[in-house]
Structure 1
């Protein structure tokens, strides 16, 4: 596949429509206006992964048909020819942004064109909408929507359990859905178009992680549905330690608790455990169930004792057998995350730990229906770790987290939060598993069995490694872009980003995944560059621990970074805030978030810091893009300006700006004193949203009448050599959230995306490219960094 370069046009075409704006100054009104809207193509800046992949689903009858679901970034279909994933839910708009959280998927084994997704991001009021079942007759290229009368939790605790959604392989028009929050078991008899509660299903579940914590207080409910194709039974797992498993032997007409299930699936040390996942061996007649004390994906096990088991139920005799692996290197098994059965080799199955934090997750493999197990890695004497396979992270070089192996603690891990674990039902050599950061996979899996034992004993009784022929596991996340991106800086030929959970990146090729920025950030929150000296790049981010600095500095266009000095009194564990650098690169200003520390400035690239005078804590700061001595700030309805390089700020006396809900403001390249401000508004305070622009450094402002609300604003190359920079915004016009562009200083605006390309939420930051006319980069909350070009 030809690699996409930084200047390449990309994606599928999007129609555009024009909208007009209100009163603007003469310099804006008199500019030439475009005669025709441009068509745009859209693509991702390549990061490859970056978020949690809780489910991977293979179709049982069509080889190569694979789906992956994410917790906030939609779902994907595997493309075998290119070995990449195609996003399927980019059409989700801001009004239904919760549909980007996918709690379960099901692919039809009879009519393989049919696929279903259970969507809804939160069961609490963070998501204003109820959940839905999405149904597709063309493998996810287009979708219908069946709304549900309750919420679903694609980004809630328990999202790696399941699958909660299942197609009956005998009557494929029938689907089952396990609901959270005590809503029970639901069923459809018309290919997912309509749904009704199974009124005679006796148990809606009762397991709550922590009733005192709103995000952990939800009843986990009905967890999964599985089909015994030998006896025609339907099994349902329920989050109720006292009654965890039910069965129907009459096609769902009646339901009974499975005898012995509570005793078999309970924890040996008396902890309350739940049946997280199941897998059926329809050749030998076994149902395998894994348990954990917690629904995951964050936690491991209780402070003492083991937290998980693997139980095997004979679907013909009802006999339970404990097939839990007897050993986990260095500690008890904290709980299991995923389980999968090899359909080509009955009796072969694999399971994963969930959050076996130190030093790594374990994959277990059995070829005798769980009677014996082998491990993906193990200790020899002491902590001398030995592995069955090598990890090739070249597909996502940031997976090393800029670290190095420290004994058994590898920089590139097997993963954590492994709950999506699946052997290809058509190819015993292929496995994929999702982690909190990526998808790993191999097409050499059966070499595991030829390796024999990993560890043996010498004559002195010491554990020693045995010689084995390793295979390779590599990144299989190409095309999955699941980061929450927070800020962008386009230098021209270089794009710098601040990204949630994985710091940020410097891209000189938009189609190539890069190592992450080498700073102390856990999450990048803000980036900037010196307009007249773009070799100077700065960023800020959240950090862990109180010894680390929040600001990073590069003087070679982002190739290398160093950490600025820590600001005394700003704690770790967050507080990244916003950072700005003056137009000439001589001064850095940083405003930490969520602290009582007022902004600070540095005249020596972050070696030392001085308090800024005149600004409240948390005020956002931006630099004028022309005059090095001028900077701007906004907080609580007051706009501030500095004319001494950020040492002091004073209010401009501006009136009419919103007092809350301002998401972004930016200064215009090449135009001293030109500032644009975007506001979402705030329902609590009654502050209005919209967009405003100033040409005198923030003293007088003109409201842009076109927009109801706006969330970000940025600038790119002008349409003509003497024209005003192109303006881009993520905004709402007449109730419709979209991406808009103006090429005439704000006199007219054109929508440049369409309803097929909405990405749920794309409001944190937006910027044009200073060298490529029309190009726009925008952040999303779960679909990575999107960029668009005018179609050739």
Structure 2
């Protein structure tokens, strides 16, 4: 399991779907406002409860934005889905701060990456209506919601005695202060801490019991204290260096860090690590109603340990816990609460405590039982990353290829899947990732997918005879070779082509039993964080395959054994998608991002641009409307005189109709588009970090 999900600027996984009417799928929705039910799947890096208003709860995610709890229907409301793709950086959650005096006011710090390769700056937004709308503030800095130490915090803090004063600890630019509710900011150049690049100041905590007192953490250096609201600072002698979280009550400071738990009181440090467990601790919370009661949690990818103290850490009880998931496919590993980021007491409900981890949100309503029962609350929180999607002409309306959770057979779009694609139980699944899925046009229940496990560099694939319900792993596959895309012959399901990362494509004629190298094609792109779709099989001719690269169209007429260049007059685009048309031999469509959309009817020899399309980021081909044989085109891009958006054409691109909601632009790096072969109007869009949407 990864501790840093990487991706390129065009990457984000949110999937958009026009409603498929199977069984309970009968609600009319607007494009971009409803999610296909998967259930979490992404890192929730913090949870925040307002001290004065019951059930006012927010969560922060690494690449999926921010949410607010809806206690009425027990679901999470996304608060940052209004950002368009041009502002994709704002889907990264760096920090959040709630005004303790005003339940309506909340601030968020946004930005996915602070690394040099990422050219976008983050910023801070303010809301005065609990996140329904946002105002951008005048502070633009590199921020890293998906960078290391994103599970620590919090970097943004509000003075509990004066809500106009805010402090923000940046990753690269030191400490910043605002004395007018964020209208203006100035750098605190007097902060003396040694700041580690890309981490900087990771925690700021005000003492709500002592006016003017505030603490800040320079990660890998130590803890600093100010008694004049951040004007001057002194390092606490002998403080832990790699601090994760702080909590302060009265004259006592509690600290979780890389080697345990410590307490600072009356100028002295005490090691209060539970059971002398010298491991990394992260989650930390003090009961607002009882300052003697503390909970801490280890920072681990497995075997989480939660400790509970009723005497300020003098003694601890290891929690005996049970997890109950509302999401049936969550594995035993996921139920073990890996990489817990935050644990927080609920000030308004006795014994209630919230927790977040690598995959979602948990809550117990009785922290003081002998066996603490944690239930997860995932409705509305959708954060998986898509690699590919297929909507076959028969069977399930959608089968997804995903990062980290393999993918799913989506029999119903509003019901959580029962298991991951390759799992027969909650202990085992075939792959960490699925990178691509394909099916045989004349026998669509025969499918193939490729994937693997990044954590141990093992890769391969699997085939299915029942439309994706069950899978059998390839009999063989070259070791340490990462497959990227797969295309299956239209007439022979035992024949398929697989492209690989930084190498020559492979071919099998016996369902993956043996493999041969394909000749005539360039080496594949560096994977896995690339969403281009260069490979396609002809939908009629079983021996014909196509491949696009660097302004060239390659074609094979011998079952993929070798490819020849058939066109060199196509524009170049690093971001591209090549697709073929059902029932018509030799008809291709090629999207080339800012270069537009191109069409070929002669097996790729010539391509004609669709003149009205000024940008084609994603596209797909779906079922024709009633009384028509012309497949429907869907486009995420730009149309002349209509601007940017998501569009549909029923006349091969001559005219376009805007679909969707401009206030919900699906902006979190859309990376894959797939339209239904079964139902007119059903279309899917995958993104990086915002789950699956469906609409009617």
Same fold (TM over 0.5): yes
Check if 1:429 corresponds to 2:351: yes
Question: Residues 581 and 312 (structure 1 numbering): CA distance in 2 closer, same or farther, change over 3 Å?
Answer: same
Check if 1:743 corresponds to 2:653: no
Q: Which SS does the other structure have where 1:99 is aligned? A: helix
For 1:638, which of 552, 555, 560 is the aligned residue?
A: 552
Q: Which SS does the other structure have where 2:695 is aligned? A: strand
Contact 2:446 2:465 in 1 (8 A): yes
Offset of residue 412 of structure 1: 4.4
Check if 1:601 corresponds to 2:507: yes
Check if 1:256 corresponds to 2:187: no
Contact 1:162 1:276 in 2 (8 A): yes
Farther-moved stretch of structure 1 (160-169 vs 220-229): 220-229
For 2:224, which of 240, 245, 262 is the aligned residue?
A: 245
Distance 1:705 1:732 in 2: 11
Structure 2 partner of 1:346 = 291
Question: Residues 484 and 621 (structure 1 numbering): CA distance in 2 closer, same or farther, change over 3 Å?
Answer: same
Q: Which SS does the other structure have where 1:550 is aligned? A: strand
Check if 1:8 corresponds to 2:25: yes
Question: Residues 707 and 126 (structure 1 numbering): CA distance in 2 closer, same or farther, change over 3 Å?
Answer: farther
Distance 1:104 1:225 in 2: 11
Contact 2:458 2:480 in 1 (8 A): no
Contact 2:451 2:483 in 1 (8 A): yes
Check if 1:53 corresponds to 2:28: no
Farther-moved stretch of structure 1 (419-428 vs 84-93): 419-428
How is 1:745-784 mapped onto 2 (pairs within 5 angstroms)? Answer: 745-784=652-691
Distance 2:308 2:509 in 1: 58
How is 1:266-305 mapped onto 2 (pairs within 5 angstroms)? Answer: 266=240, 273-282=241-250, 285-292=251-258
Structure 1 partner of 2:581 = 668
Distance 1:4 1:109 in 2: 45
Contact 1:135 1:193 in 2 (8 A): no
Distance 2:121 2:216 in 1: 23
Distance 1:58 1:121 in 2: 24
Question: Residues 195 and 751 (structure 1 numbering): CA distance in 2 closer, same or farther, change over 3 Å?
Answer: farther
Q: Which SS does the other structure have where 2:237 is aligned? A: helix
Offset of residue 46 of structure 1: 1.5
How is 1:440-451 mapped onto 2 (pairs within 5 angstroms)? Answer: 440-447=362-369, 451=370
- Highest Rg: 1 or 2? 1
How is 1:94-173 mapped onto 2 (pairs within 5 angstroms)? Answer: 94-173=85-164
Distance 2:274 2:440 in 1: 57
Farther-moved stretch of structure 1 (551-560 vs 429-438): 429-438
Structure 2 partner of 1:91 = 82
What is the CA RMSD across the aligned residues, in angstroms? Answer: 2.5
Distance 2:544 2:321 in 1: 56
Contact 1:618 1:635 in 2 (8 A): no
Structure 2 partner of 1:516 = 420
Q: 1:411-431 CA deviation, whole Å, 9 max, x = no partner? A: 444322222222222224322
Q: Which SS does the other structure have where 1:397 is aligned? A: coil
Distance 1:626 1:531 in 2: 8
Contact 1:121 1:152 in 2 (8 A): yes
Distance 1:243 1:391 in 2: 35
Q: Structure 2: give runs of 5+ residues left out of the alignment.
A: 1-19, 423-428, 526-533
Structure 2 partner of 1:197 = 187
For 1:655, which of 568, 574, 580 is the aligned residue?
A: 568
Contact 1:131 1:147 in 2 (8 A): no
For 1:592, which of 480, 499, 502 is the aligned residue?
A: 499
Offset of residue 545 of structure 1: 7.8
Q: 1:130-173 CA deviation, whole Å, 9 max, x = no partner? A: 21111111111111111423211111112122111122222223
Check if 1:479 corresponds to 2:380: yes
Contact 1:323 1:370 in 2 (8 A): yes
Check if 1:230 corresponds to 2:209: yes
Contact 2:298 2:304 in 1 (8 A): yes
Distance 1:324 1:53 in 2: 25
Contact 2:443 2:493 in 1 (8 A): no
Check if 1:528 corresponds to 2:431: no
Q: 1:93-144 CA deviation, whole Å, 9 max, x = no partner? A: 1211110001111122221111111001111244322211111111111111
Offset of residue 773 of structure 1: 1.9
Contact 2:334 2:359 in 1 (8 A): no
Q: Structure 1: give runs of 5+ residues left out of the alignment.
A: 14-39, 209-217, 267-272, 293-307, 377-387, 401-409, 452-469, 682-688
Contact 1:11 1:41 in 2 (8 A): no
Paired positions, count: 659
Distance 2:175 2:75 in 1: 35
Offset of residue 235 of structure 1: 1.7
Structure 2 partner of 1:571 = 480
Contact 2:353 2:364 in 1 (8 A): yes
Distance 1:6 1:184 in 2: 55
Structure 2 partner of 1:374 = 317
For 1:187, which of 173, 177, 186 is the aligned residue?
A: 177
Q: Which SS does the other structure have where 1:97 is aligned? A: helix
Structure 2 partner of 1:398 = 329
Q: 1:330-362 CA deviation, whole Å, 9 max, x = no partner? A: xx41x112211111232111111112x4x5121
Q: Which SS does the other structure have where 1:767 is aligned? A: strand
Contact 1:716 1:727 in 2 (8 A): yes
Distance 2:360 2:382 in 1: 9
Q: 1:565-614 CA deviation, whole Å, 9 max, x = no partner? A: 3323x415xx2310111223523423333232x22222332233333343
Structure 1 partner of 2:404 = 501
Offset of residue 73 of structure 1: 0.8
Offset of residue 651 of structure 1: 2.2
Check if 1:418 corresponds to 2:340: yes
Question: Residues 240 and 528 (structure 1 numbering): CA distance in 2 closer, same or farther, change over 3 Å?
Answer: closer
Question: Residues 234 and 705 (structure 1 numbering): CA distance in 2 closer, same or farther, change over 3 Å?
Answer: farther
Q: Which SS does the other structure have where 1:326 is aligned? A: helix
